[in-house]
Each structure stands twice: as C-alpha cells, then as structure tokens.
Structure 1
Amino acid sequence: MEHFKITEVELWEYISKSADASTIQKVEKWMDSSDFDETLFIEISTIHNHTSEQNPSVENAKQRFFDSVKPKRAIWKSMLKYAAVLVAIIAGTYFYNTVFSNNQIVVQTTYGEQRSIKLPDGSKIRLNALTRLSYDVDTPRTLFLEGEAFFEVAKDTVHPFTVTTPDHIKVTALGTSFNVRAYIDSPTTETKLLTGKVEVTSETQFKETFVMIPDDEVIFYKSTKEVVTSKMNLNTSRIAWKEGKIQFENKTFSDIAVDLKAQFGRQIRFENKDIAATKFTGSFKTTTPIDEIFEILTISKDFTYELNQETNEWIIQ
C-alpha cells in the first residue's frame, strides 16, 4: 500500500490555493488515502480562514472551506461532520479577538507573499514574506512584528510609533521610514533607517539606547546579546526585498536560509555546521529557483544539496 506524508507547508499552499500542480495532486492523493489526517486539515483550514480577512464571516469561512477542499466523493461524508467543528472554532476565535483582545488586528503573509497596508493614522507598511503584524485598533501606532516589514510613518509628535519584536527589541519613531527584520528563527534582529530618526531599545536584552540617523543599521545578535551598529552599504539595495531581490552581504548560510525559507516555503536543514556558519555575499531575483541559488553559492564554498521529497526540506551537506 502506498503511503503519503504531507507537510504543513504543502497543506497551507493547497488550502490557500497557492500550490503548484504537483503539490495539489500530492495533497489530493493524501486526502484519498488511509494516511489522511482530518484533524490537521481542520486546524490548517481554520488558521487560513481566520487570517485571510480581518473581519471573518462564519458563513463565508464555511463556504471557503468546502470550496477549497474539493474532496473525493468517498470521503465527502466524513468531512461534513467537521464543518460544524470548523465553524465553531472560527466563531469562537473571532469572538475572542473582537471582545477579549480589545479588537486586535492581525495581518500576515505566507511563503513568497508580500502585502501592503495603510494604518488609520496614514502610516504605510509593506510586509515581506512569512510575516505577522498585529496591533490594537485603539492604538494603531503600537505594533508587534514577527518577520520583516518596511514602515513609512506618518508624523505625529504626540503619539510615538513603536514596533516591538519577539525578542523584546523596540523601535520608536515619530515620522520616518525604516525596515525591521525579526524572524523568530533568525540569529539576528535588524533595523535599517532610511529617513528621519529612530531609537532602538530593549527592557531585557541590553541597557543602551541606540539613536539612529539615515543609513544606519543596528543588528542584535540573539545568542551573544551583542549589538552592532554600522552604516549601510550604499552600493547595494538597502531594502532589497521591496525590489524583488534576495540580497545578503557577509551573512551566514544559516541566516540566509531564513530568507530562502520565507520566499520558497521549504525548510533548509544543515547536516554540516561548518557550512551553516559559512558567510556569503550575493544578490538574486526572487524569481530565481532556489536550486540555482544553491548552485551559485557552491562556487565559493563546496557543499552538496538535495530536496527530500518526503519531508519537503532541502538538505545541505
């Protein structure tokens, strides 16, 4: 009997209708097999339906669920009983977000996706791939960021604009434009300032206050708690991802892998720590296939790579 193993990434792509033909075929074969995990399917569907719009409608979510699934007739009846569970979960989550969380707004992107939003105060934000931004509707200038985003802040001298990251780094601005990169699995948190002035502080990680002026870059290294300040390289794109590029300068392969995962939707696992710690400099279009990026990197450092189809991850040796 043939067995199927589906990753959460593939399932998310299928439910969000961003999967390629081979992934669609793989997921549907899995759904029609004895390996089908209905609980996992419900969980991923619920997350997608709830985060795909700011004011989710239970009925719309229910309809989107059935429209996106398109299950085989043999398992259609078994899926019906989960619809009520799905609607209950969505309704309960919506109630929690609108009442108990004081109208918290959450905006997020998936693999390879970018999204632009405008806050009530006129500030503009562009989210990079695999990013989650949240704020309370009553305090839209106080935000929490997990991932990467570019901010163009509307000036307001009375209400400072703050962005807090998962590792408790706070970036405070009045009227300015800056970029924050704060992926959880990245070894660093980075702030780049284009215009205006910002302060970088933390109540738990360091005592200093770093005041940034245009073209400054502040990098916090999570493992050592070290903060490094420098000037951006003006010969390269300062905010490359906004221009459709994956760009890195003297970065470790393990940190580059965070950006590659966000763009291409596959985990990268290093079986050689020396390769993971190797530093590279390069610039690629986001349309460049990931295996081509790997191949070019092998020119400066010899390593091998392969895609594990079962686990849907790249193995670097």
Structure 2
Amino acid sequence: MEDKKLAEQLLKKYSDAKATPKEIEQVENWYNSYEGKNRVLSQHQKAIIERRMRINLQQHIQQKPEIKTALLRNNSFLQIAASIILVCSIGLAWWKIGSHPQQKLQPTLLTSSTQVNEKKTIILTDGSEITLSPSSRLSYPAKFATSFREIVLEEGEAFFKIAHEEKRPFNVQLPGKLYTKVLGTSFTIRAFKASNSLNISVSTGKVAVGNKSQVFGTLTKGQQITYDKNKGTAIISQTPVPDTRIAFESINLRQALQKLEYIYSIKIELAPASLGDLGCTATFHSKQKPEEILTIICSLYNLKYESNPAHQSFKIYK
C-alpha cells in the first residue's frame, strides 16, 4: 500500500464492499496498525469504516445471535467501527432535539422573593394566584407554554390557587428534584433549605407528588405529604383544611360544575345538558360541602338535584 493511488483504489473497493477477502484483510491489517500506534483517523477514514460496518452488520443480520455476538467481541475493528456509528447516532439525535423550535425558544423567567417579615401575592398570566410567605423565593415564566405550565419554588413557603385548565397541567418544581402536578386546585408547600423535610398540604382538588423515578401519591382535600430529604421517603397523613375561596366569575354553569367536580372529586350530571349554557357568577368557600353549594346554585335557576347514597355522584335537573 505504498503507492497512494493504489491505496485509494483499494479503500474505495473496501468501502463499496467490492474488495476480495485478501484485500479486506489487507485493509484491516492497515487499520489495526493505525490502532496500535494510537493515531487519529481522518474524517474520510472514519466514513469508510462506518460504511463498511453497516455492510458487515447487514451481512450478519440473519445469523444467530451468538454468531453476531462473537463477531463483535472478537473483531476489534468492528468494535471501534460500531462505536463510531453509535457516536454519530447520538450526535444526530442530540442535534434533532436541540434544533426543535420549542427547545430553542427559552421562556423569559421572572423571580419574586420576600424578606423576613414580608408577604407577597403574585398573579400569573393564566390567572393563578400564589402567595409567598416570608423568606421565600419563586421563579416563573413571563408567559406559559401552550401545552403546560411550570414554575419553580426555590425556597420557602407558598400558598397556590391554580386556575383550572383541563388540557394544560400545572407543575411546581421543588428542591430535592420533587414536583407537584395539578390542574386546578389550592395547596400549600413548605420547602425550606434549612429543614430536613418538605411538606405539601391540599386545601381543594388533587395534587400528585413525586420525582423522576416514582409518584409518592395523589393528595386530595385534607391530606398532606411529608418528604424526608435525607431518607428519600414520604408519608401521607390527614391535615386541617384552611378555608379557601371558590370563585366563579363570568363563566357558564357547565364550567362551574366542572371545577366543583375537580375540587371535591365528585361527578355532576346535567339533564338536559343545555343547562350548562346558563351563566354563572358566584363565590363559595372550600369548607362548604358540595351539597350546600349545589343547593345554592339550584335555587338561583329554579333547579333541583339528587345524589347517590355516598354523595359522590349528583344529577341536576329541572
């Protein structure tokens, strides 16, 4: 292979899978000599190796698994070629992810914090309301994405009243790689760095709590979860429920009842369904039972309701 032109011709035959067994052995011996000297391969040489590797894999794809395993294990040339292909594939996948328009557009983040003796209320663009207790810090986007809502409670305590959106969940990232996921509810999070535990208590609705590997549980009204940062364990227990305002402002009856269904984990049927088009503006409190709220709503429209024995399913009718 001293003659450069002959070497190039041989490499081309090898890359096109037209080389004879003897020529293949010659090229691979040449490659192994490079490997032994720890030389850096050129992009052209890597491309040849990659193409040849693809051909070899295609030729052996129909063989038994143990033959293919032995082939890759005993041939250092194929091992390194496979590594090159793997790196190329990973690079391509990363490029595709990085070039996605939604990945490129990073939202503008805003930060709000409180001093030792200060409280602060923040109204988000979706109408959600967050009240920060003293010595707390929160990060949130100036505008939420179209498919999800997410903020970060970096430190402290906050009370959340999340606007209900069925198709756009609301996530709160917490210290210790924990998260909460809700649709529309109210809850309190206590997450001080100096404390060994993190606490989440639910006033209305449902809150799922977990990390990337597991979900610790879905909390409902009157439940709380205490997470031990050191042990990585969580305990769910009952807790007193603070009174929270439930406001229906310039929405229809169907939307109002959907919110009640979520807040109280109940089912409400309208008969006929067209009753849902009625307008609804009213204010209630979370300490009120759903029967009490439905009684008031029905009195406004001269309607009636009935429920099952467990008071988990209701029907509103004329």
- Note whether the superposition's TM-score is higher than 0.5: no
The TM tier, using the shorter chain, reads 0.3 to 0.5
Structure with larger Rg? 2
